[in-house]
A = this chain, B = another copy of it.
């Protein structure tokens, strides 16, 4: 037996007291986060493009860059990726359009985002903070939790 494996004394608990989850479940938690990270930037771009089209009538690379806070080169490269993924269509030097798949993704992302944002507001979080937190949280909230959030929003607005 590995001499490092198990000390005889019970270790002092430095945490909440919850046991570690089973290895497989634990790994699946991190795996879920890694997968979310792969898709979330894509979703953010698509959602933003949808918003720009809805509010401004068009989505230009320069606007995306300034709103994302990144360089135009970064946006240009990302648009190429979105094209390859079949989410947008674009002609050089022309405004972008979402494909059907892109519109679907934008709609779903936007709905998810709104639920998280309104949930945080209903909970009593300040608007500016709620916007920042919602942007980060939206990609990590399961459908189940989203349902619970929605129920909470409904309940809170009834009692107001």
Q: From known contacts A26-B67, A28-B69, A67-B23, infer whether A57 and B135 are also in contact, taking CB-CB under 8 Å.
A: no
Within 8 A of B (CB), among A31-51: 31-33, 36-37, 44, 50-51
Q: How many copies make up the complex? A: 2
Is A142 an interface residue, CB under 8 A from the partner?
Answer: yes
How far is it, in angstroms, between the C-alpha of A55 and the C-alpha of B125 when the chains are bound?
35
Is A101 an interface residue, CB under 8 A from the partner?
Answer: no
The A interface is mostly helix, strand or loop, or mixed, namely: helix
Contact A27 B137 (CB under 8 A): no
Q: A residues engaging B (CB < 8 A)? A: 4-7, 11-16, 18-21, 23, 25-33, 36-37, 44, 50-58, 60, 66-70, 95, 106-107, 110, 114, 118, 120, 123-126, 128-133, 135-137, 139-142, 144-145, 148-149, 152
